[in-house]
Structure 1
């Protein structure tokens, strides 16, 4: 019992010691925060921010240090000068001869902020001193000489740096603020900000919400200012057109030039972004599928767009039949085929997807199935592609069913289901008229919106679908094709 009391007593002593240490640390942080002061004749009210720093965690304090002046709140026309403010930060007077060595030794404590110099000219009573420089320090790390660690202190001593901190009036400007910091300062408090965009060449494509609209032109200009190479910012104004897969857009800032030039996976593309579909977030998916294509294979691209599947497949040594209903997409597809020098390997079509399958694909497929090379059918129209799968029913009705390798289909779709893999499998099965359970794989491509995923279902086209007589069509789309060789015959 006595031993138990002794242990409890020691535990209480340890607890009290920990509490005391914590209080001491809190007071130390408090004193460090009080070092920072704001001097500004035009934005005096911002000084309260630095009083709050003493009571804020480090990440909050950092945000407060670089917070824009409150006067910019509600600004709808960008005034860059209104963001200018001055704060006092610590610095060290360093002899010019040892400047590089000191900067290297103090890399932990030197100011680290884009656009803010680490070293400035030293001025004594307004007169520049040629042999001395001021090294600017991070006020969140340095409040006194004791803030330096042992190695830093020893370095300063060995380089004969005067052991005294100097106040330096640092002018923070619009150019020193990040995109998020500018927009957070301008938009009404509590409203969600957005700085996200898709980059398409020189074009930044945004999806602004209703509460952003009063500030849309300012947002566009900030995006241009903060992102080198962006000279045009647009906002989508409606959903993608299901027919041509393009969307209407409005110019927010910059030049009204919608012809973009981009590189993806080593291929070059040019197109009018306002009249065709292009999504830079699909670069990885394009490469994933193309990597399954071997030299000598054939790719049948039903919804080819401007060629992000077709062109790299052709460059990999495949023969490609590429189709798109949108006349603009077809025009740029032909252009991109030429600039990538794959015209000999790519045939282009400007047809409805179903007409492409029932026409050129049906004509070419029998000979392709007799060959040993693989056949890949790409259907990248996520909003509708699954509905086009029924066009393969009875596509080769009347042809002998042979044991040749069947085409591999890559069909894309959107799913809001809790089980998107099963949802895609079931929908594809329904359109084909046969179950794909256990006969397909479903790949997650990307999250499009909350509870909405883009998926790719991959499967060998079932023989009972391709050669079924039940799905054989009559009418203009099913006109008799030229006489074809039977599967039993060999090709040269």
Structure 2
């Protein structure tokens, strides 16, 4: 058969068979499909050079060899076949000038023929499998957050009937993933963890991660961890200097506290969740920074108005810069009122001009059209002090449509720290 007589290949050859539509129990064999792909015949002596020159048009499929024997598993001949991508090459005219020149230089005929090839489940990509299985026209989400050996999904309602299948596919297609979970509700308002369902793999929630050169271990089902905050953790910690004092109000398992201690800072780290506190202490030991970190298991407001209040006068009187980190974006802005009248006015009078006021890095979510203006306004209202023009705001990430995570940073005003009008709340939010 000559080049001109070959039928035009179907660009949809790589999609799994339509018979798998609606499958909820994974049957890997059902995805097998025989297709026809273009090939070019190359002498064994030139195969390495030509394969390199035709890299852009060669067939790229998971678990599939691009170069095969001319006669299958039979005795090897003097030629090999290079499988080509039918979406890029349908005839000899589709080679670029550079590719054609490379073929001519190696005396390889610029002739494209056809070869029957069996594609199996193992040669398909995750998105292809899910697109073939889920109802036609609905969104296919194959993305996930990886937390050590755990893949964490946030499936939509229309995907839930297929959740077990989706989990199995992700385990199959991602080396190192041995457990797939789906979040089943919003983050718990008390301990910042959420209920989850194991979709596939082993039911092992204790995982190990490495972020910015620091190792962490924790039970993912009992604590809060978001790998998307790695850049933010690094950004804030990079502003700390050796000898600084870090007061981490909502420390979690230590993504700010541990690297800060490794940087040479003294850290007071607090979290109300007993499991977070447990793993925070573990991670301090794991990274050998426990002498630099003092941990607390308290409500955030009680932490500020208790242990922090006791130590703050001495800290501010020293040479170190003091930083408060308040990473609880759902509620942290509401905790800023805890700074009102934290220190007695008499101390301000005695040490006026001598104290280095602490810096605050407070996180918040915003759904407003102007999230920067919104978080500054809310921070000001809770502090009882106008921060406009006296703070900086950093957009951390887009959490959801019309929902941004922001960080507002400012020097805590002496008017707040030594205020006589504390404006205490009538209730304590246990976060």
Query: With structure 2 as the length reference, what TM-score do the two structures score?
Result: 0.93
CA distance in 1, matches of 2:265, 2:38: 64
Structure 1 residue 420 corresponds to structure 2 residue 371: yes
**What whole-Å deviation, never above 9, does each CA across 1:279-321 have from its counterpart, x for those lacking one?**
1111111111111110011000000000000000000010000
Task: Sort the Cα spacing of 1:165 and 1:388 in 2 relative to 1 into closer, same or farther, 3 A.
Answer: closer
Q: Is 1:358 the counterpart of 2:305 in the alignment?
A: yes
Cross-structure match for 1:69: 17
Check the 8 A contact 1:84/1:171 in 2, yes or no.
yes
Partner of 1:205: 152
Change (3 A) 1:250 1:400: same
Mapped to 1, the partners of 2:320 and 2:120 lie a distance apart of: 62
1:464 aligns with 415
Does the residue aligned with 1:128 lie in a helix, a strand or coil? coil
Following TM superposition, by how much is the alpha carbon of 1:238 offset from its aligned partner in structure 2, in angstroms? 0.8
> In structure 2, what is the Cα distance between the partners aligned to 1:474 and 1:35?
73
Trace 1:10-409 onto structure 2 (pairs within 5 A).
Answer: 34-36=7-9, 50=10, 61=11, 64-123=12-71, 127-162=74-109, 164-401=111-348, 402-403=352-353, 404-409=355-360
Task: Please state whether the residue corresponding to 2:337 is helix, strand or coil.
Answer: helix
Q: Give the deviation of 1:106 after TM superposition.
A: 2.7
Aligned residues: 420
SS for the counterpart of 2:272 is coil
Larger Rg: 1
2:382 matched residue in structure 1:
431
For structure 1, the 5+ residue unaligned runs are 1-30, 37-49, 51-60, 478-492
CA offsets, 1:171-200, max 9 Å, x none?
111122111111110001111111121111
Say if 1:397 and 1:472, in contact at 8 Å, map to a contact too: no
Between the aligned partners of 1:453 and 1:149, the Cα distance in structure 2 is 46
SS in 1 for 2:70: strand
Asked if the contact 1:89/1:170 (under 8 Å) is kept, the reply is yes
1:452 to 376, 400, 403: 403
Does structure 2 conserve the Cα–Cα contact (< 8 Å) formed by 1:395 and 1:472? Answer: no
* Counterpart for residue 485 of structure 1: none
Please provide the CA RMSD for this pair. 2.1
Decide whether aligned partners of structure 1 residues 191 and 336 sit closer, same or farther in structure 2, where only a CA change above 3 A counts.
Answer: same
Shift of 1:259: 0.4
Q: CA distance change for structure 1 residues 144 and 128 in 2, over 3 Å: closer, same or farther?
A: farther
Question: Which structure ranks higher in relative contact order (CA pairs < 8 Å, sequence separation ≥ 6)?
Answer: 2
Question: In the superposition, relative to structure 1, how do residues 464 and 32 fare at CA in structure 2: closer, same or farther (>3 Å)?
Answer: farther
SS at structure 1 position matched to 2:398: strand
Greater CA deviation, 398-407 or 274-283?
398-407
Q: Where does residue 16 of structure 1 map in the other structure?
A: none
Q: CA deviation at 1:398?
A: 4.3
Q: Secondary structure at the match of 1:444?
A: strand
TM-score, normalization: structure 1? 0.81
Q: Which runs of 5+ in 2 are unaligned?
A: none
Instruction: Tell me if structure 1 keeps the 8 A contact 2:209–2:215.
Output: yes
Deviations 1:227-266 (A, max 9, x none): 1111101011111011110001110111000001001111
